[in-house]
Amino acid sequence: MTERNAYQKERLRMVETQLRARGLRDDRVLEAMARVPRHLFIPIMERPYAYEDRALPIGEGQTISQPFMVAIMTELLDLGPADKVLEIGTGSGYQAAVLSLLSREVHTVERVPELYERTTTVLRDAGYENVVTYLSDGTLGLPEEAPFDAILITAAAPDIPVPILEQLDDGGRLVAPVGSRYGQTLIRIHRKGDLYDKSYSTPCVFVPLIGRHGFSPDSA
């Protein structure tokens, strides 16, 4: 079996045992998870574990999220093919790649220069042409590209940063892990005009969102 086929087999097993078996039912999300080569987004040393049921280190003290968490966040965003998406916390670029298969374009913001540079190259080489990467403090959102149909924050926030909330279009969905540095709950906000409907999903643990409207860097 070629290496590529071996990874593909592991990936399909991941979709069945980690996602479908746990109740994820959105076929478009499952299909995207079956397509994106997760191993390409992580350091070579970690590749043997690429399709395991856990988060993995990607350098700079950061992590790529567990496949189940990526899938559930994507499902909660309820994406359509015309949607314009904002992601805060590019990290490995894996989540952005998954989102890009289900939307028109993805704008993703990272604060760590080494990750921004590495990930921009990985995404380009892998052919994800509708993903645009940015190096900045994502707690400010991306005002020059707003509004967005969907916004995903993939780092733990003490609260949803107000500038980000303001960049959500009418009818838009926002998903973020909100809580303390050590434990959060995934929340979903659905904007309907001036109303922001809030619902709670699963408990989770993310690395902190650090920035003007996030946690402070010194206690990181």
216: annotated active-site residue: no
Complex with ligand SAH: residue 2 or 218, whichever CB lies closer? 218
67 touches ligand SAH by CB under 6 A = no
Q: With contacts defined by CB under 6 A, name the span among 4-12, 25-33, 57-65, 165-173 that binds ligand SAH.
A: 57-65
Q: For residues 107-166, which are near ligand SAH according to CB under 6 A?
A: 109-112, 115, 137-139, 154-155
Complex with ligand SAH: residue 75 or 110, whichever CB lies closer? 110
What tokens were used for 101?
Answer: 């298969």
Kindly state the number of chain residues that form the binding site for ligand SAH, as judged by CB under 6 A.
25
Q: With contacts defined by CB under 6 A, name the span among 8-16, 74-82, 120-128, 204-212 that binds ligand SAH.
A: 204-212
Q: With contacts defined by CB under 6 A, name the span among 20-28, 89-97, 169-177, 189-197 that binds ligand SAH.
A: 89-97
| Residues that are catalytic | 65
Residues that bind ligand SAH (CB under 6 A): 62-65, 88-89, 91-92, 94-95, 109-112, 115, 137-139, 154-155, 207, 209-211, 214
